[in-house]
Chain A
Amino acid sequence: MTGQGIGASLIRKEDDRFMRGRGGFVGDLRPAGMLEVAFLRSSFAHARLKRITIPPFIRSRVFIAEDLAGVAPIRADTALAGFKSSVQPILATGKVRHVGELIAMCVAPTRAEAEDLVALIDVEFEELPAVHDMLEGRKPGAPLVHEHWGDNLYLTTEIDANFEAVAAKAKTSVTRELRTARQVMSPIEGRGVIAEWNSRLGQLVVTSSTQQSHIVRAGLAECLGVDEGQVRVIAPDVGGGFGYKGILLPEEVALSWGTRKIGRPLRWLEDRRENLTAGADCREHHYVLTAYADDEGHLLALDCVASVDAGAYSAYPFSACLEAGQIGSILPGLYDFAHYRCRTYSIATNKPPILPYRGVARTGVCFALEVTLDALARELRQEPSDLRFKSLVRPEQMPFDNIAKRHFDSGDYPEALRRCLDAIDLKAVRERQRRGEPDGRLIGLGIAMYSEQAGHGTSVYAGWGIPFVPGFEQCHARFTPDGGLELRVGSHSHGQGHETTLSQVAHEILGVPHERIRLVHGDTAETPYSTGTWGSRCMIVAGGAVASACDQLAMRVKRIGASLLQAKAEDVRLESGDVVANSGRVSVAEIARTWYRRPQELPRDVDPAGLEVTAGYKAKRDTGTFSYAAHAAIVGVDLETGEVEIIDYVIVEDGGVLVNPMIVDGQIYGGAAQGIGTALYEEMQFDSRAQPLGSTLSDYLLPGFTEVPEIRVFHMETPSPYTRFGQKGIGEGGAIAPPAAITNAVNDALKDIGAELLDLPLTPRRIGEAVMRARPKKSAQ
């Protein structure tokens, strides 16, 4: 063991430049002659555009829809039955459907001057009644976001697995109505785009802060009506993505068109106000969920009606229905039961399009299910963990096909819960609750469990029929003449540390020293096609592709090495970067030198493909890995102010074989911090005209250092049977369970005073008011 392969907690290669402020982000780039762009955006959520008046002296620097002849709008359709298609214009035409929608592109030497141009344009709006709330939007007579639909439904889905049969058996049921807030994804770096035309290559070069350069390339070619060969998309360093940077933006299309029109490079950097009010909406779900159980508390059935506020347009490429579609398939959680019904609505509203955020629907689903299970446990007067143990899928059932046809690959869910309860010390918490707190606060314990499907591919997405179905992931790998290794993959890193982890995979196979391995990614001109970085897929699929390419390189160097050592190819092995035979050893660097620079020494029958390969990979079974975790939180609740303190937080996670445990821990901490944001802080509210009520980070609160407690993480490592090294995707999990665990903890604290919180986030006001409502009720009894 060299300590640089699978399982090593190596310091990240990326950190040297990131920690010293030497990364290269879109905002750091400034091509010669570049102009800056500011957009005039709609101030209304729903309005007809009556007239746009542009002073003549700035007309040449302002572009509106009528200027964009030949540019197609963005369409993200699915093949799902009944899906209604939306057409998202690049610049608004006819009417605007959400605050922040692009109306005009203004170009100037500086952003401030571009904003001055924005201020000179006069737009006459005829305001229309807005759909500000998804439940209102479903009612008859609601204003219509897309008139020709006749209603506001992108899609309705229905799953019914023998549901009616349950009524006779179930002795107990609880129903809860739950709601998650509309959130805004908040990477440190917002979106940013530079578009320039390279006349030598006849190519549009778009540098974008994106997770998915190949998808953006295809989308741009479609909208601009040009060959994909005429478009190159480069993702430089990307400062956080979380799903927001997996979306084709109208801004990317507008700048790509504009740079050819103007003949100068154009740059747009999203500012925080644009991010908060116009860009990155996510998460807003509503549930009415009923859980049925027998006398002993075995879960018998779930019945759910779920709604997702999908916003004004179907975003490219994941569509407006990814969230609601996931709800039906993941609501059963980690539990084994026989009866299930779930209807979902994807509802169009006058808000920015809903986009997939770390965990996508899982955060809302985990919240709805696990909070309702705690309500069921209270109804049955059982310890919530005891109730869960009765219905968790057991390890001997693995692999397990659940009621929603998900195929759980491996794991021991009850063991994760047991370890979690041990670590949080359930008994001690119950004892502490009996004693009471000296400061008068109430203490509560909450647990929540989830699984995270990751790296799922063709077999899952073919049914969706979204613009891009992932297939084989590819890696191009080659030795340099001095024995270094270059890896090229089409996915991208926006904080995950792929330069380090994919290097570890290659090292595991080829033994090339970590520092001699370079990763090239994020540039369509330099990498194989990929659907990009999303769905916690990269360690599975890009890791698998790197391994496949390195396997082939290993074969080739062994053949050349065997020849140089005058041994048979089948008698040599690769060891610490050397080809070794009984007769001696020769380094991979020496073999590379021979191939490139002294070909006269190569064997006559050498493979002419040489030391470069492109290999493709798909998991043995591509229905995905299911990493899972149990989270437990202890909170203290101040009854007067509604303030919540997280006193302890434990995560027991099974991510299969961990490639770099330190990076996994980092992923979990960061995800959990975002989950705490969902639980306690983050909420973009809208008024009845669908105006967003926050435009700065003092209105839209994100948890900071002092709000995130020290989280105690423990690992189980059950290898996935389907992936190359037994690894599972873990990138999103941390963000999934905290809202459920923290809400369960708060409700556990408040159970004796009869208050229960079901709406996220659990703001001090919501808690304080719930306590005020509950207390008079109690005294009246």
Chain B
Amino acid sequence: MKPVAFDYERPHTIEGAVGILSGNSDAKILAGGQTLGPMLNLRLVQPTLIVDVTRIPDLTRIEEEEDAVTLGACITHAAIEDSRFADPSNGFLAEVARGIAYRAVRTRGTIGGSLAHADPAADWLSCLLAVGAEVLLTGPRGKRRVALKEFVRGALDTELAPDEVLDGVRIPRFSRKARAGFAKICRKSGEFADAIGAVVHDSDRGVLQLVAGATRGQPILINGEAEGLGASFPPPLEPVREKLKQSGLVGDAYELNIHMAAIKRAIANAQA
């Protein structure tokens, strides 16, 4: 199938993009196009205007701060996989990037596009929830910084307003001793996951976060402190299983099994 006819704009500034979006309620932002492309072709979306943000220099920026690194939204999975910038995560982001779809997809797909789409089976969403990332949004009413866990409201559902651009992702720096693990269970390599497990343990910063992704809604974030998992690593699994069951988002007994398996593998990867 082929897309319906649409207009195409390619702004060179974030403000320019916001201006175009403000004037058109039926526009779609094109970043890597790895999801939007097929959706256009299948006519699942039929926008009248495509706003291509890939030529906005600010969207490929890297900002280093003492406690965080901000990646522009149009940084590709491949750039992260190849560690083309100072990595805040002791190699964790590169490891996750390496497992996203296929290299051809990673060459074009972007971290910001993935988060804005908020597919529950997407790798970045689960990974960056565990990491405790924030997203930066720019709109006609100015800029705002939103914790990723607040940004994602459900499957394919986010805080992003139609006239806003997700312009960056702020990733806290891991301490030297931090460990993190990621695992996904999928039918074949490169496919969407049936279950994702992600874990970040950083005792220096007092962080223990687990995520079960590829659920029937938004990924389930389990904060070790809030859930009373204690400070030791690996954390006890029975409370995690209970939490997943209670969420109502992991489906039947088999799905609970594979989500727990993914979390166990993520923990094992963090220890390796």
Residues of A participating in the B interface, judged by any CB pair closer than 8 Å = 110-112, 115-116, 119, 271, 273, 638, 640-643, 681, 695-696, 698, 701, 703-704, 706-707, 763-765, 768-769, 772
B257–A763 CB distance below 8 A? no
A763 to B187 CA separation, bound complex (whole angstroms): 8
Q: Which 5 A-B pairs have the closest CB atoms?
A: A112-B2, A706-B189, A641-B261, A768-B254, A640-B261
CB-nearest residue of chain A to B194: A764
Q: Give A703 to B188 CA distance when docked, in angstroms.
A: 7
**In contact, A772 and B253 (Cβ under 8 angstroms):** yes
| Complex Cα gap A642–B253 (Å) | 13
Query: Which residue of B has the minimal Cβ distance to A697?
Result: B191
Total residues of chain B contacting the partner, CB 8 A: 22
A681, B254: Cβ atoms under 8 Å? no
Most B Cβ at <10 Å: residue of A119, A271, A764? A764
B190 at the interface (CB under 8 A from A): yes
Query: Chain B residues near A116 (CB, 8 Å)?
Result: 4-5
Which of the residues A112, A704, A764, A772 comes within 8 Å of B190, measured between beta carbons? A704
Q: How far is the CA of A763 from the CA of B188 in the complex (A)?
A: 11
Q: Looking at the complex, which one of B1, B3, B4, B260 makes contact with A271 (CB distance below 8 Å)?
A: B1
Docked CA distance A703–B3 (Å): 28
Inter-chain contacts of A115 with B (CB < 8 A)? 1-2, 4, 43
Complex partner residue of B192 from A695, A698, A704, CB under 8 angstroms: A698
B2 and A681 form a contact (CB under 8 A): no
Q: Are A701 and B188 in contact (CB under 8 A)?
A: yes
Q: Is the CB of A641 within 8 A of B188?
A: no
**Contact status A273-B258, CB under 8 Å:** no
Q: Which residues on B sit within 8 Å (CB–CB) of A707?
A: 188-189
State whether the Cβ of B137 lies closer than 8 Å to any Cβ in chain A.
no
Q: Is B185 part of the binding interface, using a Cβ–Cβ cutoff of 8 Å?
A: yes
Q: How far is it, in angstroms, between the C-alpha of A765 and the C-alpha of B38 when the chains are bound?
A: 27
A112 touching B42, Cβ below 8 Å: no
A111 touches B190 (CB 8 A): no
A696 to B190, CA, bound (A): 14
Contact with A along B186-219 (1 / 0, CB 8 A): 0111111010000000000000000000000000
Whether A640 pairs with B258 at a CB distance below 8 angstroms is yes
B152 to chain A, nearest CB (A): 21
Task: Convert B238-264 into 0s and 1s, putting 1 for each residue whose CB lies closer than 8 angstroms to a CB of A.
Answer: 000000000000000110011011000
Q: Which residues of A contact B3 (CB under 8 A)?
A: 112
> Which B residue's beta carbon lies closest to that of A36?
B2
Cα distance A707–B186 in the bound complex, in angstroms:
12
Partner of B5 from A111, A112, A768 at Cβ < 8 Å: A112
Query: Does the CB pair A764–B261 fall under 8 Å?
Result: no
Do residues A641 and B185 form an inter-chain contact, with CB atoms below 8 A? yes
- Indicate with 1 or 0, residue by residue over B151-194, a CB within 8 angstroms of chain A CB atoms: 00000000000000000000000000000000001011111101
Give Cα distance in the complex from A768 to B4, angstroms: 43
A637 to B168, CA, bound (A): 42
By a beta-carbon cutoff of 8 Å, the part of chain B in contact with chain A is 1-5, 38, 42-43, 185, 187-192, 194, 253-254, 257-258, 260-261
A638 to B260: give the CA distance in the assembly, Å: 13
Q: Which residue of B lies closest to A680 (CB)?
A: B187
Q: Which residues of A contact B2 (CB under 8 A)?
A: 110-112, 115
A-B contacts, 10 listed (Cβ < 8 Å)? A271-B1, A273-B42, A640-B257, A640-B258, A641-B257, A643-B185, A681-B187, A703-B188, A764-B258, A768-B258
Instruction: Kindly list chain B residues whose C-beta atoms are within 8 Å of the C-beta of A703.
Output: 188
Query: Does the CB pair A696–B257 fall under 8 Å?
Result: no
**Chain B residues within an 8 Å CB radius of A642:** 254
Q: Looking across the interface, which residue of chain A has its beta carbon closest to that of B38?
A: A696
In the assembled complex, the Cα of A772 lies from the Cα of B258 at a distance in Å of 13
Complex-state Cα separation, A768 to B191, whole angstroms: 19
CA distance A638 to B262 in the complex (A): 12
Q: What CA separation (Å) do A696 and B44 show in the bound complex?
A: 13
- A-chain residues with CB within 8 Å of residue B261 when the two chains form the complex: 638, 640-641
Question: Across the interface, which residues of A come within 8 angstroms of B5, CB to CB?
Answer: 112, 116
Specify which of A110, A698, A769 is in contact with B254 (CB 8 Å cutoff). A769
B residues in contact with A273, CB < 8 Å:
1, 42
Q: Are B191 and A698 in contact (CB under 8 A)?
A: yes
- A643: chain B residues at CB < 8 Å are 185
Chain A residue at minimum C-beta to C-beta distance from B264: A640
| Nearest chain B residue, comparing its CB with the CB of A772 | B253
Report the Cα distance A115→B258, complex, angstroms.
41
Q: In the complex, which residues of chain A have a beta carbon less than 8 angstroms from the beta carbon of B1? A: 115, 271, 273
Question: A641 touching B187 by the CB < 8 A rule?
Answer: no
A205 to chain B, nearest CB (A): 26
Looking at the assembled complex, report how far the CB atom of A284 sits from the nearest CB atom of chain B, in whole angstroms: 20
A701 and B187 contacting across the interface, CB-CB below 8 Å = yes
Chain A: which residue is nearest B259 at the CB level? A641
The docked-state distance in angstroms from the alpha carbon of A772 to that of B43 is 41
Q: How far is the CA of A191 from the CA of B120 in the complex (A)?
A: 35
Cβ-defined partner of A764 (8 Å) among B187, B189, B192: B187
Give the residues in chain A near B4, CB-CB below 8 Å. Answer: 112, 115-116, 119
Task: For A274, give the chain B residue with the smallest CB separation.
Answer: B1
In Å, the complex CA distance between A638 and B254 comes to 13
Separation of A695 and B38 alpha carbons in the complex (Å): 12
Cα distance A704–B254 in the bound complex, in angstroms: 25
Additional A-B contact list (4), CB under 8 Å, known A111-B2, A640-B261, A763-B187? A696-B38, A701-B187, A704-B188, A764-B258
The docked-state distance in angstroms from the alpha carbon of A638 to that of B258 is 10
| Nearest CB of chain B from residue A285's CB, rounded to whole Å | 23
How many angstroms from the CA of A706 to the CA of B260 in the assembled complex?
24
Bound-state CA distance A27–B205 (Å) is 58
By the criterion CB–CB under 8 Å, are B188 and A681 in contact?
yes
Among residues of B, the one whose C-beta sits closest to the C-beta of A643 is: B185
A638 to B42, CA, bound (A): 36
A696 touches B189 (CB 8 A): no
Tell me which of A116, A271, A765 has the highest count of chain B C-beta atoms within 10 A of its own C-beta: A765
B189–A768 contact, CB under 8 A? no
Closest to A761 in B: B187
CB closest chain-A residue, reference B46 = A119
| Complex contact B187–A768 (CB within 8 A) | no
Contact residues in A for B194 (Cβ distance below 8 Å): 764
Q: How far apart are A74's CB and chain B's nearest CB, in angstroms?
A: 25
B42, A696: Cβ atoms under 8 Å? yes
Q: Residue on B with the closest CB to A765?
A: B254
Q: Pick the most buried of A273, A640, A769: most chain B CB atoms within 10 A of its CB.
A: A640
CB-CB < 8 A to A764: which residues of B?
Answer: 185, 187, 194, 258
Known A110-B2, A111-B2: A701·B257 in contact at CB below 8 Å: no
How far does the Cβ of B214 sit from chain A's closest Cβ, in whole Å? 13
Taking CB atoms, residues of chain B closer than 8 Å to A698 are: 191-192
Q: Please indicate the chain A residues that have their CB under 8 angstroms from the CB of B42 in the complex.
A: 273, 695-696
For B260, the chain A residues whose CB sits under 8 A away are: 640
**In whole angstroms, how far apart are the Cα atoms of A116 and B192 in the complex?**
30
